[in-house]
């Protein structure tokens, strides 16, 4: 056992030396909370493969390396959730996703596609985006969601979103994002704004606010999220967050996770 631990430590240390570039990023997340009077445990495993090496610029946040690199990528993900209704029993569900992002340093255009299938169901969700980089750190997109609920026809929703990474005068950084999605077959719209402050390259603390409304400011339902990340090493990050009154569940949701690059 001692030899195994030493070998793992040496492997991670060696990986951090070469972490100025990577092509793979694996994420593992665990979330818990309540939904419909049930305790929920949710797991997510995803892997992103970049078609060309992503280099971590010494002057920029490690978490934003993929966004700034403009390297195209493929994404594979699996989600599993378990619901405990106490005396009423337990149920579980899972889904898998496959997709990718297209972008390149030779032009400013962006495109993405994510296809999600829900196991033991005919549910399906397809998310796609077309975007343009207004500058190397500012992306604007048109977003499209095609939803096919199990046995209930299908709907298509349209929205817009944007993300901007700013360099501050004190050597820190701030990433801001905003989104809007028109909720199909209703008069509601779903809005979101968020900001992450980077204390140098390794540590970030962020806030996000999401709301659903028929107008813009008079929210019928809203949620507030606090999130953070810490790159313990250039290739290993720890993440955590809590969402108060989640729009999807109406209750608080908690999440912890880690990502590893190589």
The tens digit of pLDDT for each residue in 49-72 reads 999 999 987 788 999 999 999 999
CB distance 50 to 66 below 8 Å = yes
Q: What's the pLDDT band for 151 if we cut at 50, 70, 90?
A: low
Q: What's the token pair of residue 252?
A: 């608080």
What gap in Å lies between CA 69 and CA 105, rounded to an integer? 8
Using DSSP bridges, classify how beta strands 221-233 and 109-118 pair: parallel, antiparallel or unpaired.
unpaired
**Mean pLDDT, rounded, of the chain:** 89
Once rounded to an integer, what is the mean pLDDT over residues 170-189?
Answer: 90
The first and second tokens of residue 249, run together, are: 């569940």
| 77-81, 204-208, 219-223, 246-250: least confident range | 246-250
pLDDT at 2 over 90: no
Task: Give me the domain span that covers residue 57.
Answer: 2-261
pTM: 0.86
Q: Angle CA(190)–CA(37)–CA(186) in degrees, nearest 5?
A: 25
What phi and psi, each to the nearest 5 degrees, are found at residue 95? -155, 160
Quote the pLDDT of residue 122. Answer: 82
Looking at residue 245, its pLDDT comes to: 84
Least-confidence region, from 74-83, 95-104, 138-147, 179-188: 179-188
Is residue 11 over pLDDT 90?
A: no
**Region 170-177 average pLDDT:** 94
SS3 for the chain is: CHHHHHHHHHHHHHHHHCCCEEEEEEEEEEEEEEECCEEEEEEEEEEEEEEEEEECCCCCCHHHHHHHHCCCEEEEEEEEEEEECHHHCEEEEEEEEEEEEECCCCCCEEEEEEEEEECCCCCEEEEEEEEEEEECCEEEEEEEEEEECCCCCCEEEEEEEEEEEEECCCCCEEEEEEEEEECCCCCCEEEEEEEEEEECCCEEEEEEEEEEECCCCCCCEEEEEEEEEEEEECCEEEEEEEEECCCCCCCCEEEEEEEEEC
So what's the pLDDT on residue 19?
A: 53
- Whether the per-residue pLDDT at 144 is higher than 80: the answer is yes
CATH code for position 98: 2.40.160.40
Predicted local confidence at residue 121, as pLDDT: 84
Q: What percent of the chain stands above pLDDT 70?
A: 90
Considering its fold, how many domains does the chain have in total? Answer: 1
């Amino acid at each position: 056992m001692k030899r195994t631990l030493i070998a793992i430590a040496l492997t991670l240390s060696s990986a951090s030396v070469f972490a100025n570039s990577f092509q793979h990023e694996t994420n593992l997340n665990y979330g818990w909370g309540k939904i419909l009077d049930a305790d929920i445990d949710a797991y997510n495993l995803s892997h992103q493969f970049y078609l060309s090496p992503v280099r971590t610029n010494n002057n920029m946040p490690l978490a934003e390396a993929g966004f700034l690199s403009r390297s195209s990528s493929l994404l594979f993900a699996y989600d599993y959730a378990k619901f405990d209704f106490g005396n009423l029993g337990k149920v579980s569900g899972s889904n898998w996703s496959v997709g990718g992002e297209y972008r390149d340093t030779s032009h400013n255009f962006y495109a993405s596609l994510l296809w999600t299938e829900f196991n033991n169901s005919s549910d399906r969700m397809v998310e796609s985006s077309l975007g343009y980089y207004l500058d190397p750190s500012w992306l604007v997109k048109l977003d499209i969601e095609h939803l096919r609920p199990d046995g209930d026809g299908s709907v298509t929703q349209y929205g817009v979103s944007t993300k901007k990474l700013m360099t501050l005068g004190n050597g820190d950084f701030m990433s801001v994002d905003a989104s809007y999605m028109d909720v199909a077959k209703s008069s509601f719209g779903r809005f979101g704004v968020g900001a992450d402050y980077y204390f140098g390259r390794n540590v970030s603390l962020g806030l996000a606010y999401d709301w659903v409304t028929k107008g813009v400011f008079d929210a019928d339902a809203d949620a507030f999220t606090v999130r953070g990340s810490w790159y313990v090493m250039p290739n290993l990050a720890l993440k955590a967050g809590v969402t108060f009154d989640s729009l999807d569940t109406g209750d608080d949701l908690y999440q912890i996770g880690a990502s590893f690059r190589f």
